[in-house]
């Protein structure tokens, strides 16, 4: 099943319009994001989603349980509404597209137009290009295949979605045809997700932020880290020993949300979309990084010591699925302000690298080959450029170099000699940087 085929799981029929389902921090409810005019002054709000049973070919219509009444934006000029619904099974997190104005093409509009209803599978997916920003921060888009008002009525409240590297990004919610029922050129207006953030801020005790659960707490990622793939021996004990360090991170009260808000774009390799700040791959990397650093430094990393850690060991992330060697030009241009003169740079990507460590002897040639201008090097005045004086590490080195390539040395560890395992790991992590 392609990622586009999963859009019906998120695309909602609501009254005479549409909506988009958003999975949250909360385990008690999800949101349906929609347009206010779809549900305003409705005595009963009926919400459902459609799917096709792949075995029988039959249309399945699932009705969602509404919790309470809709939440509308306080500004009457903003047509945004949030509805709480009971959680549903088998729904992945969808990320937000934070920098929608940097990407103009490759969007999809998904909804349930009225002309397709009457008991049929009514979802319609149209390709869309952004045209311009309008009054009250609305955004106008151009449908690739021109459709008039009569074809699109009922799509109000539908999602504007971008797909990249197998991941959904929600960019906004459609509100209307740009020229109302006179629209003949396939232009639609939609609302950015920030409108829905504003509704949440207007109702802080009733609504949760529009973010996936793993941004709220590292506990959601424990079983997705440090996989130690490629070992011939059973290193389950070592893997679980490392994963259980997650509790130390939880006890320190460090959360992805705090780290994200503290460092912002400094967490990313140069030229990354800021949407990557919400990606699971980044926070898997940070949980692994914090575990490794807790062991290396023999101390618990907390909010107070986080800046010091980031200055001594700068972790930067790219969501590329290619080898990290393809990102060298961007790594060279990344933000190294406040890093210590002897600071180490560690790179993480959504891919397993061919080579985990690049020696300092090779780095000058890589830097020259990337041809950065002096003003492109983001360092503090009077500071050393870190890639000129140190090795460059991929985060996967903590697994491959320190454990996987020495797996025979780990095969006999158990609870009886756990302290020896801890000493062994610290020794290997120390050796990595020396």
Do 187 and 223 share a domain, yes or no?
Answer: no
Alpha helices per DSSP H over 45-181: 149-152
Give pLDDT, residue 111. 85
> For the residues 297-308, what does the mean pLDDT come to?
90
Do 198 and 220 share a domain, yes or no?
Answer: no
Do 125 and 185 share a domain, yes or no?
Answer: yes
Q: Select the more confidently predicted residue: 16 or 376.
A: 16
Report the alpha-carbon distance of residue 311 to residue 301 in Å, rounded: 13
Domain boundary among 175, 202, 229: 202
pLDDT in tens, 58-112: 888 889 999 999 999 999 999 999 999 999 888 887 888 766 666 656 788 888 8
- What are phi and psi for residue 190, nearest 5 degrees? -140, 165
Give the H or E element holding residue 429: helix 418-432
Give pLDDT, residue 150. 66
| Pick from 257, 86, 103, 243: nearest CA to 171 | 103
How do beta strands 95-96 and 167-177 pair? parallel
Give pLDDT, residue 169. 84
Do 262 and 387 share a domain, yes or no?
Answer: yes
pLDDT in tens, 248-264: 999 998 999 899 999 99
> For the residues 138-164, what does the mean pLDDT come to?
79
> For the residues 228-232, what does the mean pLDDT come to?
92
Asked if the structure places residue 386 within a domain, the reply is yes
pLDDT in tens, 44-54: 899 989 887 77
pLDDT in tens, 115-126: 777 767 878 888
Give the CA distances from residue 26 to residues 31, 181, 216, 262, in Å, rounded to whole numbers and listed in that order: 10, 39, 10, 23
Residue 289 has pLDDT above 90, yes or no: yes
Residue 182 has pLDDT above 90, yes or no: no
Do 158 and 232 share a domain, yes or no?
Answer: no
* DSSP three-state, residue 364: helix
By the 8 A CB rule, do 28 and 208 touch?
no
Asked if the structure places residue 107 within a domain, the reply is yes
Q: Select the more confidently predicted residue: 132 or 285.
A: 285
> For the residues 375-400, what does the mean pLDDT come to?
86
Find the helix packing angle between 236-243 and 418-432, rounded to 10°. Answer: 80
Asked if the structure places residue 279 within a domain, the reply is yes
Residue 184 has pLDDT above 80, yes or no: no
Report the 10 Å Cβ neighbour count for 266: 17
Q: Which two tokens stand for residue 378?
A: 């983001």
Residue 381 has pLDDT above 70, yes or no: yes
Give residue 190's pLDDT band: very low, low, confident or very high (50, 70, 90).
confident
Residue 183 has pLDDT above 80, yes or no: no
Give the H or E element holding residue 140: strand 139-143
- Could you list the residue range(s) of the whole structural domain that residue 164 is in? 3-202
The CATH number given to whatever domain includes residue 70 is 2.40.10.120
Domain boundary among 202, 233, 250: 202
Counting the structural domains of the chain, the total is: 2
Give the H or E element holding residue 198: helix 194-202
For every residue of 18-77, DSSP letters joined together read: EEEEE--S-SSEEEEEEEHHHHTT-S---EEEEEE-TTT--EEEEEEPEEEEEEE-SSTT
Q: Which two tokens stand for residue 424?
A: 């062994």
How do beta strands 392-394 and 357-358 pair? antiparallel
Do 320 and 347 share a domain, yes or no?
Answer: yes
Domain boundary among 173, 202, 231: 202
Say what the pTM is: 0.76
Do 265 and 406 share a domain, yes or no?
Answer: yes
Do 290 and 146 share a domain, yes or no?
Answer: no
Tell me the pLDDT of the chain averaged across its residues: 87
Give residue 197's pLDDT band: very low, low, confident or very high (50, 70, 90).
very high
Give residue 394's pLDDT band: very low, low, confident or very high (50, 70, 90).
very high
Do 244 and 159 share a domain, yes or no?
Answer: no
> For the residues 414-418, what does the mean pLDDT come to?
92
Asked if the structure places residue 208 within a domain, the reply is no
Asked if the structure places residue 375 within a domain, the reply is yes
Q: Per 3-state DSSP, what percentage of the chain is helix, strand, and coil (rounded to 5)? A: 35, 25, 40
């Amino acid at each position: 099943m392609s990622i586009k085929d999963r859009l019906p799981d998120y695309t909602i029929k609501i009254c005479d319009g549409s909506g988009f389902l958003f999975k949250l921090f909360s385990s008690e409810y999800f949101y349906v994001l929609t347009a206010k005019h779809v549900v305003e002054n409705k005595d009963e709000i009926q919400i459902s989603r459609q799917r096709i049973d792949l075995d029988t070919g039959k249309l399945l219509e699932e009705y969602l349980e509404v919790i309470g009444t809709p939440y509308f934006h306080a500004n009457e000029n903003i047509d945004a509404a949030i509805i709480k619904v009971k959680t549903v099974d088998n729904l992945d997190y969808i990320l937000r597209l934070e920098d929608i104005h940097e990407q103009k093409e490759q969007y999809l509009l998904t909804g349930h137009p009225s002309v397709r209803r009457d008991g049929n599978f009514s979802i319609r997916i149209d390709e869309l290009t952004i045209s311009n920003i309008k009054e009250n921060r609305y955004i106008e888009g151009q449908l690739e295949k021109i459709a008039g008002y009569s074809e699109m009525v009922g799509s109000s409240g539908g999602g504007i979605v971008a797909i990249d590297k197998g991941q959904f990004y929600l960019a906004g919610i459609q509100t209307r045809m740009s020229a109302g029922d006179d629209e003949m050129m396939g232009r639609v207006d939609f609302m950015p997700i920030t409108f829905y953030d504003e509704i949440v801020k207007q109702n802080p005790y009733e609504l949760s932020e529009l973010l996936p659960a793993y941004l709220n707490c590292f506990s959601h990622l424990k079983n997705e880290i440090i996989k130690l793939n490629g070992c011939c021996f059973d290193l389950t004990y070592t893997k679980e020993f490392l994963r259980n360090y997650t509790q130390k991170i939880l006890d320190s009260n460090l959360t992805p949300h705090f780290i994200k808000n503290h460092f912002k774009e400094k967490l990313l390799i140069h030229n990354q979309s800021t949407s990557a700040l919400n990606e699971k791959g980044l926070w898997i990397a940070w949980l692994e990084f914090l575990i490794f650093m807790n062991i290396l430094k023999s101390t618990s990393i907390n909010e107070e010591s986080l800046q010091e850690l980031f200055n001594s060991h700068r972790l930067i992330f790219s969501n590329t699925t290619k080898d990290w060697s393809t990102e060298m030009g961007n790594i060279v241009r990344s933000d190294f302000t406040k890093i210590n003169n002897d600071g180490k740079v560690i790179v993480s990507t959504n891919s397993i690298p061919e080579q985990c460590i690049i020696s300092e002897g090779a780095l000058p040639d890589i830097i020259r080959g990337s041809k950065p201008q002096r003003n492109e090097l983001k360092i503090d005045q009077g500071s050393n450029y870190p890639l000129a004086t140190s090795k460059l590490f991929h985060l996967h080195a903590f697994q491959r170099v320190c454990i996987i390539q020495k797996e025979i040395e780990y095969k006999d560890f158990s609870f009886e000699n756990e302290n020896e395992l801890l000493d062994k790991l610290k020794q290997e992590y120390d050796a990595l940087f020396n």
